[in-house]
Amino acid sequence: MVFSLFQTVCFELILLIWFIANSTSITASGICGGENGRECCDGFYLNASTKKCEECKPGSFGRNCSLICPFPTYGKKCQNKCNCDNETCNAITGCTTQTTDDEEYFSETMESTHSVENTTLYTQTISTTKPTGTVKNILILLIQLFGGVDILLICSYTIVFMIDRRRNKNQKDNSNGQIARYTAMYENIEIDY
């Protein structure tokens, strides 16, 4: 079965769109390259039942979510900070006992105020980045590049083909008119000897 040029261009355009859509969904779903070609990125783990990479649950981070949030951080991607001591800070939910920042005591005979100040003991910034430059990402980029060049070549071929076809049609129309004139001018002359 022979496809027309239009069908071929449409098919290749659909393939290019499919490659672009799949390349963005691969990185958005937490799948990164690796030795096997399909490993979860940092901050993701492989769910055994769905066979898909899923974001780490609150309280964990790193490759395959193998690390627990260090004190005083907790929660999703360890982005929250505990305002309590190490013993009462839960890596998933935060402080397990209720704390107050300011306490005030009043008495009938004497008024006094006692305030507790919060001081930062240390600050830790955890950034999870997806690896760049993996073989799979480079391969996808090359496929997209060649697909784009292929579409440009097919479009330019189509334009040249259409221009050439019009030119040939015009020449054919002109030559048919000339043949008609020549045939009208032709006469048969007989000579007797």
pLDDT at 191: 82
Structure confidence at residue 159 as a pLDDT band (50, 70, 90) = very high
CA distance to 5, 20, 84, 91, per residue, from 118 (Å): 72, 50, 10, 20
Mean pLDDT throughout 18-33?
A: 57
Between 76-90, 105-119, 130-144, the lowest mean confidence (pLDDT) is in 105-119
Closest CA to 27 of 164, 126, 130, 103: 130
How much is the mean pLDDT over the chain?
A: 72
Cα separation, 103 vs 98, whole angstroms: 13
Helix axes of 135-185 and 5-28: crossing angle, nearest 10 degrees: 170
Q: Has residue 117 got a pLDDT over 50?
A: no
With cut-offs at 50, 70 and 90, classify the pLDDT of residue 39. confident
- The sign of the torsion formed by the CA atoms of 132, 137, 138, 144 equals negative
